């Protein structure tokens, strides 16, 4: 008596039965581990992280002080603690066609939450400027008008 045909038929029937069972479970049950809206949450993950970093920068308090030609920027968080490790620059708007553009000023960290820059002698009047502060992926831009005394 040959047992191979019975074994193959049993194997094929077991495969069909387990396939039917797994398809039935997949169609009728939701895994408790899987989020039903996983695709939408996965697409929004990077956007949510970006919003969180942007919110951090929106809570910063910025104050400026001009002493002679030295501009001091104070950066603090919502608890009035100075923020360390920011990279900052001040970009001046062009004053007109006859005036050449001033290169951006880099801010240097002078203490906890204090950043300074020396206004160049070529700046002799009030000009609009943009202050840009970055820490990690958090970025804050603020418009300034720096008015130098003649």
Question: Do 64 and 101 fall within a single domain?
Answer: yes
Burial class (CB in 10 A: 0-12, 13-18, 19+), 76: middle
pLDDT per position as a tens digit, 16-66: 999 999 999 888 876 666 666 666 666 565 566 666 666 677 778 888 888
Nearest Cα to 71, choosing from 63, 59, 80? 63
| 132 vs 145: CA distance, rounded Å | 14
Does the structure show a pLDDT above 90 at 12?
A: yes
Domain range for 83 is: 60-146
DSSP per residue over 38-74, as a string?
HHHHHHHHHHHHHHHHHHHHHT-EEEEEEETTEEEEE
Please compute the mean of the pLDDT values over residues 128-145 and round it to a whole number.
Answer: 86
User: In the prediction, which pLDDT does 137 show?
Assistant: 75
Instruction: CATH number of the domain at 142, please.
Output: 2.60.40.10
Domain count, the chain: 2
């Amino acid at each position: 008596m040959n047992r191979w045909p019975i074994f193959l038929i049993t194997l094929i029937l077991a495969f069909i039965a387990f396939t039917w069972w797994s398809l039935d479970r997949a169609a009728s049950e939701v895994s408790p581990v899987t989020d039903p809206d996983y695709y939408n949450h996965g697409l929004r993950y990077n956007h949510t992280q970006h919003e969180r970093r942007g919110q951090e920068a929106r809570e910063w308090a910025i104050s400026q002080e001009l002493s002679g030609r030295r501009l001091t920027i104070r950066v603090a968080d919502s608890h009035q603690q100075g923020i360390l490790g920011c990279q900052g620059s001040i970009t001046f708007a062009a004053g007109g066609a006859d005036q050449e553009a001033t290169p951006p000023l880099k801010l240097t960290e002078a203490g906890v939450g204090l950043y300074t820059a020396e206004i160049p002698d070529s700046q002799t009047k009030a000009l609009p400027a943009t202050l840009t502060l970055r820490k990690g992926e958090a970025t804050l831009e603020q418009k300034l008008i720096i008015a130098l005394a003649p």
